[in-house]
Chains A and B, each alone.
Chain A
């Protein structure tokens, strides 16, 4: 589904990603871990098409198409979803209105009829259950005055509504208490199928107790320096990142 080959990206001339290779197949969950500043969030942003990041080398093929050639909105319409680490507030625009605009643009791109108000609301009601989100929250301005947990739940709710093929969760666990973490993870797990894939970007192993990955990759200095199964995450939890840093740093000296 997704093939990343030798991906290099920089911000204001400073290289952040220095040769990422990754293959994600339908039905898989990949966890990207790594110490602060290793490039995890950059990778998520580059895949979503954020403009500040300049891709200097490499390619990303998503379902046979060159992802890097596409505008951010087209990537979304093709089925790439990014759950933001810091969801953005849009005053005066309700989540409902926002999502309806988004969903109908996605549908139009895919040659589907727009959903009318009734169908949209019933779809919303169905998906709301997944993340135990309250309708009142959805009629409020998007993310404005939401608690950290509410924002993240709203991200997963949007994901449920848009039914992406590839979901990238960028530090979705940050700022969540244990109950919110359980709810958010439940939502993500229920959305999993053999047709879609998930990339979970996280600093901590904690989230991976709930969203169990098939593969764990450790990112350090802009490269994937170690890959393994979920046991790797447990090892990191126990020993921290220093041993990996040492391994890598001594090898490059």
Chain B
């Protein structure tokens, strides 16, 4: 038996750290999906008529659509009638400030290492905490408000800034864009809204922390980020969920709008429950994320570290409409045990001199399947478009799979598109070399994997990068003996 096989035999995976759940009294929609439920959600959130109509239109379209099957993922189909589409912790009255938020809810976030206490936070990060279907708290709203920055839950934005929501909602990801986006448009419950006015550089990282707690409940949140001319914002998203035997659905939509000379950095560290070693349970993460560089010289940069979920279907994309605009995608996707990931990006070059850069690092262990799927499209008028793509795959053991599906569509002869791909295995030689210097095997793997993913991890804000490094090591713990 080769060493690799032996290693796999000794396979044990660390328990998922955030697998606990909390009992709280919830305000829930009945199970199932129909127009009544959508009206129920909309009424619950005291939404204006136009938004209800928008939801219903999305729902009617969704019913005519079919679940996509082109991705390299296999899972039992979701029975959408058996899910609950709204679950919110019961709060007797709407909290006006952080002080009024139920301490039990704050404790959930404390336990996840996310302090919502502004005084306790050492570094300037404002947090919007989303629990199941609602945002429970948003920090630093006042500080940000002084600069004209709006950072609040989506529901609040609908009430306080309806004109902005109406203008941008669905402008980047149309409600009928795809199956899951349409479903999200029909039933989304909350999420974050962020607006950076012209010329403002957001002084702190903005972040949303998503937590699924309730059982049999889908989480459908919506994030909308609008960066006006010459503004800058860095946005972070983190996610965890309890360990449950059944699969749970997370179908989010993120839209980013960048005006001229604006820059938006969006970073995700996704740590949804991946299911157990046999592949039981875990989150289905079917997410649509897209940004539009609408103005000239604008820039959108996606960085993702994907360690969790049973099944991931996700392609953060950039529409490079403005001339000289720039799109970036940096990704580390780790799959272990029975996890499946089909993830990548789309870069659509419309404007002149547009540039995109794709760096994807896949790591597969156990019996997992990890696919990169990327599309680079250069439209007719996109003179001098440039793309550089690098897709690397790292395999651990011989029972996992890594796949690369690059699609390139060039309609302008001046385009320069480069694609590099490599596949490698963590070598016994590398591990032995580390061992010989006194480093044990677990740490050797962590060292090698973090080195491999360094180019992507370097893109993350400092505090997140450290967390991501630990998470990578933890996800792969036990994958090599």
Contacts and interface: CB of A to CB of B under 8 A. Distances in A.
Interface of A: 48-51, 71-73, 75-77, 81-82, 84, 87-93, 97-99, 101-103, 105-106, 109, 141, 158, 162
B438 A109 contact: yes
A141 B427 contact: no
A19 to B, nearest CB: 25
B435 A91 contact: no
B111 interface: no
A121 B183 CA distance: 55
Given A49-B436, A93-B447, A103-B438, 20 more contacts: A48-B436, A71-B435, A73-B434, A73-B440, A76-B437, A90-B448, A92-B452, A92-B453, A93-B448, A93-B451, A93-B454, A97-B447, A98-B437, A99-B437, A101-B447, A102-B438, A105-B438, A105-B440, A106-B438, A109-B438
Contacts of A97: 447
A84 to B, nearest CB: 7
B434 to A, nearest CB: 7
A50 B436 CA distance: 9
A158 B437 contact: yes
A101 to B, nearest CB: 6
Given A102-B437, A102-B438, A72 B447 contact: no
A92 B451 contact: yes
A73 B438 CA distance: 4
A51 B3 CA distance: 8
A92 B427 contact: no
13 contacts: A48-B436, A72-B432, A72-B435, A73-B440, A75-B436, A88-B427, A90-B430, A92-B453, A92-B454, A98-B434, A102-B437, A102-B438, A106-B437
Contacts of A75: 436
A105 B443 contact: yes
Contacts of B437: 76, 98-99, 102, 106, 158, 162
Contact of B436 (A72, A101, A103): A72
B424 to A, nearest CB: 9
A3 to B, nearest CB: 21
A76 B441 CA distance: 13
Contacts of A102: 434, 437-439
B278 interface: no
A97 to B, nearest CB: 8
B433 interface: yes
A101 B432 contact: no
Most buried by B among A48, A73, A102, A158: A73
A110 B432 CA distance: 21
Given A98-B447, A101-B443, A105-B443, A88 B429 contact: yes
